[in-house]
Amino acid sequence: GNSVTQMEGPVTLSEEAFLTINCTYTATGYPSLFWYVQYPGEGLQLLLKATKADDKGSNKGFEATYRKETTSFHLEKGSVQVSDSAVYFCALSDRNNAGNMLTFGGGTRLMVKP
Amino acid sequence: GAVVSQHPSWVICKSGTSVKIECRSLDFQATTMFWYRQFPKQSLMLMATSNEGSKATYEQGVEKDKFLINHASLTLSTLTVTSAHPEDSSFYICSARRGGLAGGPGHPGELFFGEGSRLTVL
């Protein structure tokens, strides 16, 4: 079956620090990969995505590259801000799975201190 | 603003009562909606897929009679937790997949999530 594993949090960083949140996956097909962000009191929002190997998703300064050889989709940002404090979820969608259902990782809480 | 809205955002109920949570797509018609459950410090677990006009498809281990899902229109799906017990206390999140009409936010097939509903059963 499909699964997503991401590093446990919380991750605590100072403002302007470099961020990496690791994510690896197991899938039977050729999945699309996603990062979702959940700000306090809000629902999940799509942050970025990549649909095939070597694609790089990017948004709001965040980046993640689809690495098929290492089955990874690590999230990075060069300089985090306090407003980036949230819970980040890595997810995959198996193209062979009709309905576009998502399999989520456990979530990683990021806390950015001023 | 939010394109998928859930109501209520939080609810407290007594054990044995039933609670209904609504999920509405505000800007588009959603042929498919998904219900997830999020336990503290854990990820979202898919409970069921709700298809407009037909029966929901439940994931293995999810009690159909416990968690009733009704997708009566293209903009509304409801989750009813029947005879709630303290172990049903959780954060329930819905998502809607845009389909059908052209226009609207995002791309066809993109998933939008609601704000979540926190259920506490005393």
Residue that wins the pLDDT comparison between A40 and B6: B6
Size of chain B, expressed as the number of residues it contains: 122
- What separation in angstroms does the CA of B77 have from each of A36, A73, B10, B54? 22, 32, 17, 12
Q: What is the pLDDT of residue B120?
A: 94
- What separation in angstroms does the CA of B108 have from each of A104, B99, B104? 21, 6, 9
Q: What is the pLDDT of residue B104?
A: 45
Q: What is the pLDDT of residue A5?
A: 93
Residue of chain A nearest B108, judged by CA positions: A100
CA distance A89 to chain B (A): 8
CB contact set of A51 (below 8 Å; sequence gap of 6+): A32, A33, A66
Q: What is the pLDDT of residue B109?
A: 61
Greatest CA separation for chain B: 45
CA distance B116 to chain A (A): 6
Could you tell me which residues are beta bridge partners of residue A91?
A34, A104
- Per-residue pLDDT tens over the stretch B9-53: 999 999 999 999 999 998 888 888 999 998 776 778 889 998 888
Q: What is the pLDDT of residue B100?
A: 47
Instruction: List the pLDDT tens digit at each of the 114 positions of chain A.
Output: 788 999 888 999 999 999 999 999 998 877 889 999 988 877 788 899 998 899 999 999 999 999 999 999 999 999 999 999 999 999 988 755 444 568 889 899 999 999
Q: What is the pLDDT of residue B2?
A: 52
Residue that wins the pLDDT comparison between A29 and B109: A29
Residues of A in contact with B97 (CB under 8 A): 99-100
- Per-residue pLDDT tens over the stretch B53-106: 888 999 989 999 999 999 888 899 999 999 999 999 999 999 987 754 444 444
CB contact set of B68 (below 8 Å; sequence gap of 6+): B79, B80, B82
